[in-house]
Chain A
Amino acid sequence: GQLVESGGGVVQPGGSLRLSCAASGFTFRYYGMDWVRQAPGKGLEWVAFIHSDGQNQVYVDSVKGRFSISRDNSKDTLYLEMNSLRVEDTAVYYCAKEVSGDFAFDLWGHGTMVTVSS
């Protein structure tokens, strides 16, 4: 399988971005999916989860009300809508697929960089 993120870039504080993650090589609609981020030189931070059917989403507190995770199972694509961006949201954003029957992440994309700066 493969995951390919896109949509990163440079944005001013308060701005918006929409990240996409295109999946291939596995049956996308069967799996829960997540976004994980990594600030420059820092560790990993889980950001959001979406159930395989798209009906349940969970977020880390720091992005609640600002970020929205969604998916289109007909297009094998995961999304992260990011609004009211802050400097501290600057990071590489990875999409990740969950293990069948478990919740660890067995497939990761290469990541897309989001820089929030004035």
Chain B
Amino acid sequence: EIVMTQSPATLSVSPGERVSLSCRASQSVSSDLAWYQQKPGQAPRLLIYGASTRATGLPARFSGSGSGTGFTLTISSLQSEDFAVYYCQQYNNWPYTFGQGTKLEIK
């Protein structure tokens, strides 16, 4: 099983700041990596797939990068609606696995 590790677990940031979230895989997943956003009481929402392809309708302030074992989700200027939990997921090998999540909270 591929283990996905996200860091940090919690990030306190101010609106307008630029933030980068990290995700590491225990072995190469090529570019088979997705990022999801989840707000309390809601289902996850796809942000990025193929490591760097934005989902339909996603604002351009979100971007993804990386391949192999190291990936980054960057939000260029945080908006109030961006405070949520973010998960990475690999779908290169079954079982598909998620990271434990990074919580973005308001500083």
Contacts and interface: CB of A to CB of B under 8 A. Distances in A.
Interface of A: 34, 36, 43-46, 49, 58-61, 94, 99, 102-106, 108-111
Interface of B: 32, 34, 36, 38, 43-46, 49-50, 55-56, 87, 89, 91, 94-101
B46 A106 contact: yes
Nearest to A59: B95
Query: Chain A contact residues: over half helix, strand or loop, or mixed?
Result: strand
Given A49-B94, A105-B34, A44 B46 contact: no
Contacts, number: 58
Taking chain B's interface residues, is the majority helix, strand, or loop, or is none over half, making it mixed? Answer: loop
Give the 3 A-B residue pairs with the shortest CB-CB distance, closest first: A104-B49, A104-B34, A108-B43
A43 B89 contact: no
Contacts of A46: 89, 95-98
Contacts of B87: 43-44
Contact of B46 (A58, A59, A61, A104): A104
Contacts of B98: 43-46
A44 B43 contact: no
A44 B44 contact: yes
Contacts of B36: 44, 105
A32 to B, nearest CB: 10
Contacts of A94: 43-44
Contact of A106 (B32, B55, B100, B101): B55
Contact of A110 (B43, B91, B97, B101): B43
A91 to B, nearest CB: 13
B50 to A, nearest CB: 6
